[in-house]
């Protein structure tokens, strides 16, 4: 029989670990460009045509406290608004659903033509987030019978089960036919999301900064930029840097992501390396299929850190491009990877 003190210690460790993980970083998706509005809100309306995107990620399936995340989005460019509108839904189930987060965002991205070949999109994002703690998945010391184990109901005060907050983000992206780059600042108001405390260090949602740059090089003999043909080839190198602070008294979370995609239409393969300042986190392999209005991708994160043996991470994405407005040809679309 596990001792009362040891059980309480394990419970405390679980709660601390879940809290630390959810404070230290946002949900992470490895198919960066297959979840464009999550990477940078400025991608809203960037392909001009209406677009529907769905993503699912399972992280560390071999661990008892795995994480499941999913998202869905819709975006489209509107001439009358001189920019794009996007809606993004995000869900996260941490530690087998002990801590659950749901968020919905509305995005507006204003488009500016800097020259005949270069355009810019600037975006603002407003989010409502609801986070809940499922007490039924936690065990407390007063639930233990010395002989029969966990048989009693806890006398702990189980209020403050949920917390809703308003959150705001912004982004910018500049692009031409071949090169693109931008940055995003998520949670710049750093709202308080703590369940039981208003202490600034432990309750505020930490700001996240993302910077990304990449290029798309077509390897085809024909010069058409709008029509893809079977066997068309391109290569796309990319770099993504992300930083998320835990405020002045906490540690910071850095990641550098290096990757490249090689496309032979309708197939795409990609390889990424993700690392922090002091460790290599994961090697990411991606396979994608794209044809006409539909794209689907699968990626696997092979863990290289101390969590090796966790089962890595599996991620699936799907994208649907709906019929375009009549005047879409005269508006510059952003030419970037699909996954």
Beta-strand relationship, 83-94 and 99-113: antiparallel
pLDDT in the model for residue 10: 40
Q: What is the pLDDT of residues 95-113, one digit of tens each?
A: 777 889 999 999 999 999 9
| Arithmetic mean of pLDDT, 6-19 | 41
1 has a pLDDT exceeding 50: no
Q: Which pLDDT band holds residue 330 (cuts at 50, 70, 90)?
A: low
pLDDT in the model for residue 20: 42
pLDDT in the model for residue 130: 93
Average pLDDT score over the chain: 83
Q: Which pLDDT band holds residue 5 (cuts at 50, 70, 90)?
A: very low
Quote the CATH superfamily of domain 4-330: monomeric porin ompg (2.40.160.40)
Could you state, in order of their start, the residue ranges of all structural domains in the chain?
4-330
Backbone phi and psi for residue 64, each to the nearest 5 degrees, phi listed first: -70, -25
Residue 254 CA to residue 242 CA, distance in Å, equals: 6
194-207 burial by CB neighbour count: b if 16+ within 10 A, else e? beeeeeeebbbbbb
7 has a pLDDT exceeding 70: no
pLDDT in the model for residue 225: 59
pLDDT in the model for residue 2: 38
13 has a pLDDT exceeding 50: no
CB-CB contact of 133 with 102 (8 Å)? no
């Amino acid at each position: 029989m596990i001792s009362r003190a040891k059980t309480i210690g394990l419970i405390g460790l679980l709660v601390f670990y879940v809290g630390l993980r959810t404070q230290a970083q946002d949900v992470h998706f490895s198919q960066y460009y297959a979840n464009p509005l999550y990477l940078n809100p400025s991608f809203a309306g960037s392909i001009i045509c209406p677009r529907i995107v769905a993503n699912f990620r399972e992280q560390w399936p071999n661990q008892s406290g795995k994480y499941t995340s999913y998202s869905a989005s819709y975006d489209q460019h509107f001439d009358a608004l001189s920019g794009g509108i996007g809606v993004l839904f995000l869900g996260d189930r941490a530690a087998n659903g002990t801590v659950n987060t749901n968020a919905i965002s509305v995005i507006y991205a204003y488009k500016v033509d800097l020259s005949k070949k270069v355009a810019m999109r600037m975006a603002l994002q407003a989010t409502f987030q609801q986070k809940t703690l499922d007490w039924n998945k936690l065990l407390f010391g007063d639930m233990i019978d010395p002989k029969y184990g966990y048989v009693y109901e806890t006398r702990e005060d189980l209020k403050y089960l949920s917390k809703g907050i308003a959150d705001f983000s912004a982004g910018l992206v500049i692009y031409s036919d071949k090169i693109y780059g931008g940055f995003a600042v998520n949670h710049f108001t750093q709202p308080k999301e703590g369940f039981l405390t208003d202490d600034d260090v432990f309750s505020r949602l930490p700001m996240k900064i993302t910077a990304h740059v990449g290029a798309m090089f077509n390897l085809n003999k024909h010069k058409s930029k709008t029509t893809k043909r079977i066997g068309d080839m391109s290569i796309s190198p990319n770099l993504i840097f992300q930083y998320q602070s835990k405020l002045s008294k906490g540690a910071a979370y850095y990641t550098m992501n290096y990757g490249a995609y090689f496309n032979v239409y309708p197939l795409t393969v990609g390889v990424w390396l993700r690392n922090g300042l002091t460790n290599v986190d994961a090697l990411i392999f991606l396979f994608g299929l794209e044809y006409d209005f539909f794209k689907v991708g699968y990626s696997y994160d092979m863990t290289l850190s101390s969590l090796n043996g966790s089962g890595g991470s599996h991620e699936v994405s799907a994208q649907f491009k709906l019929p375009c407005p009549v005047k879409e040809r005269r508006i510059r679309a952003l030419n970037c990877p699909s996954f």
